[in-house]
Amino acid sequence: MRKVGRLSFVIVLILLMCIAAGCGENDEQAVGESDKNEITIIDSSGAEIVLPDKLSKVAVLNPPAAEVLRILQVPDEAIVGVSDSIQKNEYLGFESIESIGSSSTPNIEKIIELKPDAVITQGKWLTGSDEIRAKLESVGIQVIALDIHQIEKYDECMNSLAKVFGKEKRAADFLKWKSEQEKKLSDRLKSLKQEEKKRVLQLYANKLVKNEFQTSSKGEQAGGTGPDQQINMAGGINVAKDLEQDYPTVSVEWILQQNPDVLLITSYDELGYTVANYDAASKVRDLVLSNKAIAQTNAGKNKQVIVNASMASTPYINAMFLAKGIYPELMKDVEPQNVLKEYFEKWLGVPFKGCWVYPEQ
């Protein structure tokens, strides 16, 4: 009897040990699965963002990020709030999404009310951003700052967004296409010698109508400001690149001294997706050419004035339009209009329309 009792005790003890070992394995497996679902990215501000899983609800402040979400085919139900400028952009199709204020002064209370997993903005997004980040993160809302508008950071930022939404394949396909377009441009311009490069002065149309000459320097950010990058990609030389401010206002005397070969006019209203004709762009160009000082420059004498729609998300296509205008022989087999059409129809999934550059190419 004692032997049977001891045997039963040993069997029960072994079973208990097996059960305990099994539970331990399950616990380790559960922890492993939890860790496996975690997603870590480094945003443009240098912050390490750790997410427990893929994002299901976000609010978006900067338009280039919203455009990337369209390219990645992130569903509308995942976007619970957008800035005013995103909401008003016709081709993005976010007009029915809740507004969370402007990209520079967002409505923090509204964002908290919408309960997104994260807010997507840009690196230097607004005054007091550290305080706002702390307020949002205190209620469990992550702030992801991505400088998608900067050429050198675009691919990395897109890959980060693809990772947090599980859209890596779509991102890889698009970035392959984008790289092909950039190579197409660089291949056409590679024979261009330094002494053959056109000196370009970029100006803003909305300032010109007030008789102000605001331009863009290289700026403090790595890679340069948007217009500076566009000019460089197009094989030009930005005559304002070394000015101290990012977007300085220059004098007529300074313009005469620089004597640019080309004037690039950046337009926000005269050209774009909703513009049906070139009337407004033509008026801006005529205004520039009628300026007595500009008429004395090489650009004025040769009527090398190009009005270009502002396209922050596609600087490589912007550069194609500029290169086509100033180096027509080198770019004779490239049609930027067709590249832009493919971008809208294949990648954004919307009909292509609008007026984008004047004189029309």
Residues 128-137: b if buried by 16+ CB within 10 A, e if exposed: ebeebbebbe
pLDDT of res. 189? 97
| Sign of torsion over alpha carbons 275, 247, 150, 308 | positive
Q: How far apart (Å, rounded) are the C-alpha atoms in residues 86 and 361?
A: 28
Boundary residue ending a domain (166, 197, 226): 166
223 and 308 housed in the same domain: yes
Q: Give a yes or no: residue 94 inside a domain.
A: yes
Q: Give a yes or no: residue 131 inside a domain.
A: yes
Q: Give a yes or no: residue 172 inside a domain.
A: no
- 242 dihedral zone (left: phi>0; alpha: psi -120 to 50; beta): alpha
pLDDT of res. 214? 97
Please confirm whether the linkage preceding 116 is cis (ω < 30° from 0): no
- DSSP secondary structure code for residue 197 in this structure: P
158 and 257 housed in the same domain: no
Q: Give a yes or no: residue 15 inside a domain.
A: no
Q: Give a yes or no: residue 318 inside a domain.
A: yes
274 and 314 housed in the same domain: yes
Indicate which CATH number applies to the domain containing 46. 3.40.50.1980
207 and 298 housed in the same domain: yes
**Tokens representing residue 222 in the block:** 């790595």
pLDDT of res. 52? 85
76 and 222 housed in the same domain: no
46 and 160 housed in the same domain: yes
**Tokens representing residue 19 in the block:** 């059960």
pLDDT of res. 164? 96
pLDDT of res. 27? 42
Report angle CA 298, 303, 305 to the nearest 5 degrees: 95
Boundary residue ending a domain (166, 198, 215): 166
Q: Look-up: residue for tokens 């550290």?
A: 130
Give pairs for 22-30: CB < 8 Å, separation 24+: none
277 and 208 housed in the same domain: yes
308 phi, psi to nearest 5 deg: -130, 135
Q: Which amino acid is at 15?
A: L
Domain enclosing residue 256, as ranges: 189-358
Helix (H) / strand (E) element for 91: namely: none
| Sign of torsion over alpha carbons 218, 224, 228, 231 | positive
pLDDT of res. 290? 95
> Are 105 and 99 a contacting pair, CB within 8 Å?
no
Give the pairing type, strands 58-60 and 118-121. parallel
Q: Give a yes or no: residue 256 inside a domain.
A: yes
> Are 185 and 320 a contacting pair, CB within 8 Å?
yes
198 and 160 housed in the same domain: no
> Are 319 and 277 a contacting pair, CB within 8 Å?
no
Q: Give a yes or no: residue 27 inside a domain.
A: no
63-71 and 151-165 helices, crossing angle to 10°: 60
246 and 336 housed in the same domain: yes
133 and 273 housed in the same domain: no
pLDDT of res. 112? 96
Rg (CA), the chain: 27
pLDDT of res. 136? 92
Helix and strand counts by DSSP (H, E) for the chain: 14, 14
**Tokens representing residue 149 in the block:** 């508008």
Quickly count: other Cβ atoms within 10 Å of residue 89's Cβ. 20
Q: How far apart (Å, rounded) are the C-alpha atoms in residues 245 and 217?
A: 7
Q: How far apart (Å, rounded) are the C-alpha atoms in residues 168 and 159?
A: 7
CA 32 to chain CA mean position, Å: 35
Q: Which amino acid is at 173?
A: D
146 and 199 housed in the same domain: no
**Tokens representing residue 43 in the block:** 């945003």
152 and 114 housed in the same domain: yes
315-326 and 226-233 helices, crossing angle to 10°: 50
Domain count along the chain: 2
Q: Give a yes or no: residue 65 inside a domain.
A: yes
pLDDT in tens, the chain (361 residues): 444 445 444 444 444 444 444 444 444 344 344 456 889 999 988 889 999 889 999 999 999 999 999 999 999 999 999 999 999 999 999 999 999 999 888 999 999 999 999 999 987 655 556 788 888 999 999 999 998 988 889 999 999 999 999 999 999 999 999 999 999 999 999 999 999 999 999 999 999 989 999 999 998 766 678 899 999 999 999 999 999 999 999 999 999 999 999 999 999 999 999 999 999 999 999 999 999 999 999 999 999 999 999 988 899 999 999 999 999 999 999 999 999 999 999 999 999 999 999 999 8
Q: Which amino acid is at 175?
A: L
pLDDT of res. 126? 55
pLDDT of res. 24? 44
- 111 dihedral zone (left: phi>0; alpha: psi -120 to 50; beta): alpha
| Sign of torsion over alpha carbons 146, 143, 246, 298 | positive
Burial of 146 (0-12, 13-18, 19+ CB in 10 A): buried
